[in-house]
Amino acid sequence: MKLTKEQIEELYAFTRKHYVVHYDLQTELVDHLSNGIEEQWQQNPNLSFDNALGVEFKKFGVFGFMDVVEKRQKAMNKRYRKILFRFVKEWFQLPKLLTTIAIFMGFFLVLHLKQASYVLMGSILILVAVDFYHQFKRRKKEKKQKQKKEKLFMLEAMIGDTRNGFSVITFSNVFNIVNTMRFNFSDLHSYWLALIAIAATLLCLTFYITSYVMPSKAKELLEETYPEYNLI
Amino acid sequence: MGNSKLYKGSLNTIILKLLEEKGKMYGYEITQKVKELTKGELKITEGALYPALHKLEAEGLLDVEVAKVDNRLRKYYKLTEAGEKETVNRLAELEEFIRSMQNLVNPKWSIE
């Protein structure tokens, strides 16, 4: 006896009820539960769907799917970092390397100025303003599409969330640090300034990649990660 | 069942070894196969299998394929090239471990 389409849908609902939010993991668990239920039916065809599901779910232990979800998130973080690193690497190869060097030199020279902290704070404010404007425009566009979309993949959510969280949190933190210290950067030794400039350059690159490059390539990245992406 | 702790550390190796033999497998199939091979002695719990698979996938040792089977999508796992190499290493490691264990537990079996 095989499961019907309706029962498969019920299984999806069951995983959602047990805090499996993302479609990729839901799909894998639904197939697993289905196999288990069908196996039980082979031995005992009179068993009800709900009872068989109960037996299968128990095998996951007292915490249900929680452990699987948590570990899956951890594994996906690793993949996200790998993808990010792949993009960052591009900026250390020609021709993008020239831009990276220019950004670094920009920071390095500005840090030598007496008014360095004001220039930095001003730039951060402008950056955040520009980024807010872009996000606002994008969200408006997304709102229209979102109503149709309920199958959310984990990596997809991560690309979106990082994009939403990164600029505001990171830059307001940097802003606060610079603001409270009112630090006279130009007093520091050039080695330190170079180090700060490197950190700032890396921060800018990470921000640009996670906020603009990865979202714009989201479709390709998802197809690469999920073979089922085009099947649904 | 009681000694399943002893198997736990080798779960990844067991998965790799099975995939090496069978080509591609899906999660449920792996649990069943292990049960069959060990005559129920080792029961991979669902809560342990999927995290292990996802970790190996994130490490680039496994690749996934998805096919539509009976109204639903099924995710198959198979070894990548890196995975094949790693399987050889890990099996060698495991055999080494078994040998040391034998020496420890029963020194009479030692080769020397």
The domain segmentation of chain A, as residue ranges, is 5-64, 73-230
Chain B residues with CB within 8 Å of chain A CB: 26-29, 32, 45-47, 50-51, 54-55, 57-59, 64-66, 68-75
Share of chain B above pLDDT 90, in %: 20
Give the per-residue pLDDT at B1.
44
3-state DSSP of chain A: CCCCHHHHHHHHHHHHHCCCCCHHHHHHHHHHHHHHHHHHHHHCCCCCHHHHHHHHHHCCCCCCCHHHHHHHHHHHHHHHHHHHHHHHHHCCCCCHHHHHHHHHHHHHHHHCCCCHHHHHHHHHHHHHHHHHHHHHHHHHHHHHHHCCCCCCCHHHHHHHHHHHHHHHHHHHHHHHHHHHHCCCHHHCCHHHHHHHHHHHHHHHHHHHHHHHHHHHCHHHHHHHHCHHHHCC
Q: Do B58 and A76 touch (CB under 8 A)?
A: yes
The tally of CA atoms less than 13 A away on the side-chain side of residue A176 is 6
Average pLDDT of chain B is 83
- What is the structure's pLDDT at A166? 63
Specify the pLDDT at position A145.
63
A62 touches chain B (CB under 8 A): no
Q: Which residues of B touch A63 (CB under 8 A)?
A: 47
Q: Give the one of B28, B64, B71 whose C-beta lies nearest to A227's C-beta.
A: B64
pTM over the 0.90 mark: no
Chain B hits for A31, Cβ within 8 Å: 26-28, 69, 72-75
A 69-88 residues inside an 8 A Cβ radius of B: 71-72, 74-76, 78-79, 82
Taking residues B64-91, report their average pLDDT.
89
- For B58-81, what is the mean pLDDT? 90
Closest CB to B47 among A39, A60, A75: A60
Residue B111 located in a structural domain: no
- Give the structural domain span for B88: 4-106
Residue B2's pLDDT is what?
47
Residues of chain A with pLDDT under 50: none
CB contact under 8 A, A31 and B66: no
**What's the confidence (pLDDT) of residue A33?**
93
* Contacts across the A-B interface (CB distance below 8 Å): 81
Query: Quick one: pLDDT at residue A14?
Result: 93
Which residues on A lie below 8 Å from B75 (Cβ)? Answer: 27-28, 31, 228
* More confident position, B57 or B1: B57
Within 8 A of A74 by CB-CB distance, chain B residues are 55
Q: How far is CA A91 from the centre of its chain?
A: 20
- Give the CATH number, domain containing residue B35: 1.10.10.10
Inter-chain CB proximity A227 and B65 less than 8 Å:
yes
Give A171 or B77, the one with higher predicted confidence: B77
Q: What is the pLDDT of residue A102?
A: 93
Query: How many domains in chain B?
Result: 1
